[in-house]
Structure 1
Amino acid sequence: MARRMRRSEPWRLIVAIALLLAVVGGLLYAWQDYRDRAVVTKPAEAPEGPAVTQIVTARMAGMSQLRVARLSGIVQAAATDTRWGGLLKSGRVAKMPYSVDYTVDLSRLSTRDLQWNEAERTLIVDAPDIVADRANVDEGQAVVVERSGTFVTRGAGEALGTRVSRAADRAAVREATSPERLAQARELARGAIARTLAAPLNAAGQPDARVVVTFPAERGRSGARWDQSRTPAEVLGNGQ
């Protein structure tokens, strides 16, 4: 019994060291993330000098999202501020450019999402739905078109700027996610996805093949029965 306990002690030590390294690694990652985001970074050549504008981190990553549309325009945002029990009232109205990109995550497509209609020579693609990305409001190009308030304190001015920015962001998101805009983006997405998938069909000797793209909300509406006797991979293989 004592021998078994002594033999297991090295494994316990290894496990303990692994857990310790994991904890230390997690703490190090958390510190690095905090440092990148919240600590002023000094120039490498003059670490004791004043803070300067510089790139703190830069990471390159591959993207599987296909950008299919972009909504852009001008948004108007208004905000008010009240202080000193209602004695000081101020307001601001500003206009600024905005844009919102719509993407489709093609990495979610699998062979189960593809059907081949032999009679119609048509590839049916059950695509994932489009996603409206985060609104990009260009505050640097903002123009204040209206101000109100006889005396605006520094704190009130800062609060008005923050509220105007948030109001502009909310308005851009509402517009981008409205049923009308989403419908427009889906129509543009059909063409983008069809062009993307038409290229391998053409290369496989199927230049006349048609690509039909459907989205989740549209599935099951059509009464047509597609021929699934051959998978798209078999069609491409025969064409080659």
Structure 2
Amino acid sequence: MAAALKRGWTPLVAALLIMSVGGAMLVGWRHYDRDYVVSVEDDGSAVTKVVAERFAGASSLKVSEMSGTIQSTAQDVRGFGVLKSDQVVKMPFSVDYFIDVSRIGADDLEWNADSRTLIVNAPDVKAAKPNVDEAGRTLVRTNGLFVTRQAGEELSRSVSAHAQRRAEQEARSPARMARAREFGRAALAKLMTAPLEAAGQGGARVIVTFPAERAGDNREQWDVTTPINEVLANRRADR
């Protein structure tokens, strides 16, 4: 019987080992692709782009952080077009997102006693200047028949400038800002927990709005403590 059990476990153990090795290989390839494989356009030329990013939230004035890897490229032409060179660099970067809580005053808070709902009319989320970690470069590829010292220095400056601009564009893109605002809603709701409890209103609903949502008469107020479909249903019921 023991032998039979042993024979039965063997395929299972083998399958688990294969899955484990396969998973490790996949993770390893993703890291290698992120840090060392050059991304190119259809014509084969390298492109400056964000090649990997990761979003994480935090409940403080710094409401969110985006981090990842950026690929930057630059070209240099000298000697009446004879001396051509280019450089591709991959390096990590990070961007912090903040809400200036000091700008939230009494006029920005609305309390509905009937529904026990606190509305916080917050200032918009702001993205800080991206931190491009040039010391953490994972790839530097320079091509050219003869790269002069001046050309190398110019390539390095251009690559850095391109990386900074691309990181700023990515950080302030509508999709990234929308995700940062969602983290901001959760962070502000958590900040309001203590004062609400101190006022004897523990468990009250918190709705956080940002300027674009309050434009004109169209004030979409998103609830961070209950699903949005529940909030909309409650609004219709209140009417």
Q: TM-score scaled by structure 2?
A: 0.64
The one-letter amino acid paired with 1:216 is P
1:221 paired to 2:222: no
Q: What aligned pairs does 1:13-52 form with structure 2 within 5 A after superposition?
A: none
The farther-off stretch of 129-138 and 82-91 is 82-91
Distance 1:203 1:117 in 2: 17
Runs of 4+ that moved beyond 6 A: none
Q: Who is 2:162 aligned against? A: 167
Q: What aligned pairs does 1:171-186 form with structure 2 within 5 A after superposition?
A: 171-186=166-181
Alignment size in residue pairs: 160
Q: Who is 2:108 aligned against? A: 113
Distance 1:186 1:96 in 2: 26
Distance 1:185 1:99 in 2: 13
- Give the RMSD, CA atoms, in angstroms: 1.5
The one-letter amino acid paired with 2:172 is T
Superposed displacement of residue 189, structure 1: 0.2
| Contact 1:80-1:89 within 8 A present in 2 as well | yes
Unaligned 5+ residue runs, structure 1? 1-64, 225-240
Q: What aligned pairs does 1:179-218 form with structure 2 within 5 A after superposition?
A: 179-218=174-213
The one-letter amino acid paired with 2:218 is R
Q: What aligned pairs does 1:71-90 form with structure 2 within 5 A after superposition?
A: 71-90=66-85
| Contact 1:66-1:105 within 8 A present in 2 as well | yes
Q: Who is 1:99 aligned against? A: 94
Q: TM-score scaled by structure 1?
A: 0.64
Unaligned 5+ residue runs, structure 2? 1-59, 222-239
